[in-house]
Amino acid sequence: MQITGFNPTNGPVDTRVTLSLTDMPSDASISNTTVLLSGSPTVNVTAVDTRGGTIDVTILANSQSGDFEVTVQKQPVPVTAQSSTIFTVNAAPGAAQITGMQPRTVVRGETPLTLSGQNLDQIRYLRIGVVNVLSLTHLNSEMVRVTVPAAVQPGQQRVTGQTQDRQVNCPFILTVQ
C-alpha cells in the first residue's frame, strides 16, 4: 500500500481530507484502518473506498498545529503506508506554532537547540522525549533556545512545547547523541 497524495494538503481542525492510495487491501474498512499524523491518532476516518483507493478523514480538535507525516495502518494483518510529503494543520490565529528546528542532531548537555515559529513566547516549557525542559531562553516571539539536558535518552526524540492550555508539536524528530 502506498499513499500517492492527499487533498487538501493543509487546513485547520475539522478539515476533511481525502487520501489517495495504491494497492489498498480489499478488506480495508473504517473499523480496521487508522490514519496518524506523525504517529498521533488525531484524525477520524470517515470513509474507506477500496475500489477508488481513497480514505476520507477529518482533522480532530486534539490535533496540534504543524507539519506532519501521514501514516495509514490497516489491521489485523499490519499493512502500513507513509506519505512522502507532509500535511500541515494550520494553527488558530494567535496560537503558538513550531515550524523549524536547528540543528536536528544534538549532543545532550552540550548543543543548543533552537526552535522557530510563531507566538513561541507562549511556550512555558518543552518536552524532549519524556524529559521536561523548564529552562528556556525566549530570544523573541519567533525563537526559543534550550540546551538538551543530559537526562534525555540518546536516539530519536519528539520535541513538544507546552503553553498554558495546549501542546505544540515540533514537526521534526530530534536525533540525540
CATH number at residue 46: 2.60.40.10
Q: Both 122 and 50 in a single domain?
A: no
Q: Where are the beta strands (DSSP E) in the chain?
A: 2-7, 10-11, 16-22, 33-37, 43-49, 54-59, 66-74, 79-89, 97-102, 105-106, 112-118, 125-128, 131-133, 137-140, 143-147, 155-162, 167-176
Q: Both 61 and 77 in a single domain?
A: yes
What integer is the mean pLDDT of 24-28?
A: 87
- Tally of domains in the chain: 2
Please write the tens of the pLDDT for every residue from 48-102.
999 999 999 998 766 665 555 667 777 787 788 888 777 777 777 788 888 899 9
pLDDT at 41: 73
pTM of the model: 0.62
Please write the tens of the pLDDT for every residue from 118-166.
999 999 999 999 999 989 999 999 999 999 999 999 999 989 899 988 7
Last residue of a domain, one of 89, 119, 137: 89
Last residue of a domain, one of 25, 54, 89: 89
**Structural domain boundaries enclosing 49:** 2-89
